[in-house]
Structure 1
Amino acid sequence: MIKRRTMMGAAAALALGGTAMAQQWPARPVKIIITFPPGGASDAAARVISGPLAEKLGQSVVIDNKPGGGTTIGANAVLAAKDDHTLMLSNSAPISIAPYLFDKPPYDPLKDFVHVFYIGSVANAFVVRPAVPAKDMKELIAWIKAQGKPVPFGSGGQGSIGHIIGEMFKAELGLSMEHIGYRGAAPMFQDMMAGQLDFAVVTLTEVLPLAKDGKLRMLALTSTQKAPSAPDVPLVTELGYPKLVAENFVGLSAPASFPAAAQARLHKAMAEVLADPKIVTRLGELGFVTKPMSSAEFTAFVAAQVKAFQAPVKASGAKL
């Protein structure tokens, strides 16, 4: 009886300890590392949620952009922090793509991270500048084939999802193209405006303002459902290119050592943030489609995307 009471007491103490940890976390400001420069889709999403999340947590939320290394610099910085207060605004590039760009992956996206909260996904867009004589994907393909030399295509960086989609497009249709990786979308758009780059693959979030102003033309989106912010842009599935479907997810992930109680607190706080229709509307204006998920569902989603991207990334020949 005494032994049984002792075991019950220990179990109760553990439960109370977990509850206390959940209540105490965060004990200081929380840092969210973005693996891209300011101005991209991940950065935009992080800045929408950071203020409301800080209110829910009762601590400041600091955004820290750490681009480079095909997004692995930021991911490795999260793993190196070991302070239970550094998170990653996870997305397809560092999680589903980057590990396959190295002969020896710098980390395991499933074993080295816990994936706590799914925010949403955003489509990628095939984009040309207005001077390009292509009003749709068929005309783009014909124009590329007619050039007689490799056509440069831009993306927001080496190892970005735009880079991989461009390589998939190239392989799927046997096109002569060469990738130019920029340090974010902003310098790439500057080159497009200056007539130095004709064609790019980039997230809808990044190109939407320029497309609405008529400065760039979107030809197709790489999603399976229409984007509320760009309802007139056709989907690759509608155009007969189902193998080009690729959506860039964003969420909050942390090192595998991140305490379970802190995960629960973070998930609860973020669920409250996204329960605000104004936040969902703002994310929708940026091209994101949100969807409620438990941490387990988000982890399964990540595992499925990691598996799905392995073959096309390897086949693309892209390396870092």
Structure 2
Amino acid sequence: MTRLPRRLLLATAIAAFTAFAQAASAAWPEKPIRIVVTFGAGGASDIIAREIATPLAQTLGQPVIVDNKPGAGGTIGGMEVARAAPDGYTLMLSNSTPLSIGPFTLAKLPYDPVHQFTHIAQVGVAPVLIMANPKAGIASLKDIPKAVGAAGGQMGFGSGGPGSIGQIVGEMMKADMKLNLDHVPYRGGAPMSADLLAGTIPLGIDVITAYVPMVKLGQLTGLAVTSRTRSPLLPQVPTVAEAGYPDLLADNYFGVSGPPGMPAPVVEKIRAALAEIVARPAIAKRFEELGVLPAYVGPAAFTTVVEKQIRDWTPAIKAADLGPK
């Protein structure tokens, strides 16, 4: 029996594996796809994930399941996706918290937010909203110091969780106003808004998405948005610069990422589907109703967005003393 040279055997094996991988990519998807949301149900990320899940399922021909995995500043869900098989069946609704903020508040970096993910596409951006319960007697950002004084020199503000962009903005506001503001973390925006509406906490800070109807109905008072321009959905709410605090500028991005090493054909299928979905007038209108500006960019540009956010927010995390002790 003639033995094939080792090099020929290796080349044959590589060719066979490549052919298998290409065939698998061409057939993808063959089973349901899961989108991990790093916050609880009802928050901004959860809403965006569910808005894109249905049309994504219709385009790809398989169910798309939204799976909420909150905790540890978004890093619990982030770790699950970073360590998942790179087959395209586990994705993440990515945003500033699990990528640009949460990992850097821990003593040990749980994953590399840039290189340990395949960043597929950004789908939108949204400002943070600083808001108050109407009974708290706070009608503007400049009323907060007076309210803190009336409360005995101490007041709490709620956010969607430890290491969230809401906490970052709150800690920056605390430093800027030189006030004793206590962070009250929640497991997502929904439980935080419930306590804010009930008056359990006087202030809340979160991505604008879920709170537009509450402000419009007068259930909450919008104090400021952290974007450079006013939100078209809440035009009566000033920007932080207009309110006298320009250093509080902060935008949150929304996108879809997966584990590292995903096959290029699978990435392209997801990217193309997301680009088409975000371009649909009905989806764009729904995003805008939620306070999110549709803003599609592909893999390379989205990776650059993540890198820039990390550079911008790392100093803010250190200044707010949110990093490892």
Q: Flag as ranges the 4+ runs of structure 1 deviating above 4 A.
A: 12-22
Map 1:160-199; keep pairs closer than 5 Å. Answer: 160-199=164-203
Q: For residue 56 of structure 2, what is the amino acid of its counterpart? A: L
Whether the 8 Å CA contact 1:145–1:176 is kept in 2: the answer is no
Q: Which of 33, 40, 45 is 2:43 aligned to?
A: 40
Could you tell me how far 1:145 is from its partner in structure 2?
A: 4.2
Could you tell me how far 1:200 is from its partner in structure 2?
A: 1.2
CA distance in 2, matches of 1:82, 1:150: 47
Could you tell me how far 1:225 is from its partner in structure 2?
A: 2.6
CA distance in 1, matches of 2:18, 2:247: 47
Structure 2 match to 1:95: 99
Where 1:196 maps in the other structure, the secondary structure is coil
Structure 1 match to 2:251: 247
Q: For residue 212 of structure 1, what is the amino acid of its counterpart? A: K
Structure 2 match to 1:62: 65
* Unpaired runs of at least 5, structure 2: 1-14
CA distance in 2, matches of 1:152, 1:165: 13
CA distance in 2, matches of 1:201, 1:243: 16
CA distance in 2, matches of 1:212, 1:137: 18
Could you tell me how far 1:317 is from its partner in structure 2?
A: 1.4
Whether the 8 Å CA contact 1:156–1:202 is kept in 2: the answer is yes
Q: Does 1:207 align with 2:211?
A: yes
How large is the Cα RMSD of the aligned pairs?
Answer: 2.1
Could you tell me how far 1:147 is from its partner in structure 2?
A: 3.4
Could you tell me how far 1:18 is from its partner in structure 2?
A: 7.9
Could you tell me how far 1:231 is from its partner in structure 2?
A: 1.7
Q: Does 1:149 align with 2:153?
A: yes
Could you tell me how far 1:139 is from its partner in structure 2?
A: 1.7
Q: Which of 298, 310, 316 is 1:312 aligned to?
A: 316
Whether the 8 Å CA contact 2:86–2:260 is kept in 1: the answer is no
CA distance in 1, matches of 2:131, 2:201: 11
Map 1:224-263; keep pairs closer than 5 Å. Answer: 224-263=228-267
CA distance in 2, matches of 1:43, 1:151: 28
Could you tell me how far 1:21 is from its partner in structure 2?
A: 5.3
Where 1:292 maps in the other structure, the secondary structure is strand
Q: Deviations over 1:173-194 (max 9, x none)?
A: 2111111101222222222233
CA distance in 2, matches of 1:287, 1:217: 16
CA distance in 1, matches of 2:174, 2:146: 13
CA distance in 2, matches of 1:83, 1:121: 26
Q: Deviations over 1:114-157 (max 9, x none)?
A: 21110111111111111122211112233224433221111111
Q: Which of 71, 82, 85 is 2:85 aligned to?
A: 82
Could you tell me how far 1:195 is from its partner in structure 2?
A: 2.4
Q: Deviations over 1:209-236 (max 9, x none)?
A: 2112111101100112322221221111
CA distance in 1, matches of 2:24, 2:246: 46
Whether the 8 Å CA contact 1:31–1:87 is kept in 2: the answer is yes
Alignment: residue pair count:
309
Q: Which of 30, 55, 65 is 1:52 aligned to?
A: 55
92-101 or 125-134, larger mean C-alpha shift: 125-134
Q: For residue 119 of structure 1, what is the amino acid of its counterpart? A: V
* Unpaired runs of at least 5, structure 1: 1-11
Structure 2 match to 1:284: 288
267-276 or 136-145, larger mean C-alpha shift: 136-145
Map 1:19-34; keep pairs closer than 5 Å. Answer: 20=23, 22-34=25-37
Percent of counterpart pairs with the same letter?
Answer: 41
Could you tell me how far 1:96 is from its partner in structure 2?
A: 0.4
Structure 2 CA distance for partners of 1:17 and 1:297, relative to 1, 3 Å = farther
Whether the 8 Å CA contact 1:32–1:88 is kept in 2: the answer is yes
Q: With structure 2 as the length reference, what TM-score do the two structures score?
A: 0.89
Where 2:156 maps in the other structure, the secondary structure is strand
209-218 or 223-232, larger mean C-alpha shift: 223-232
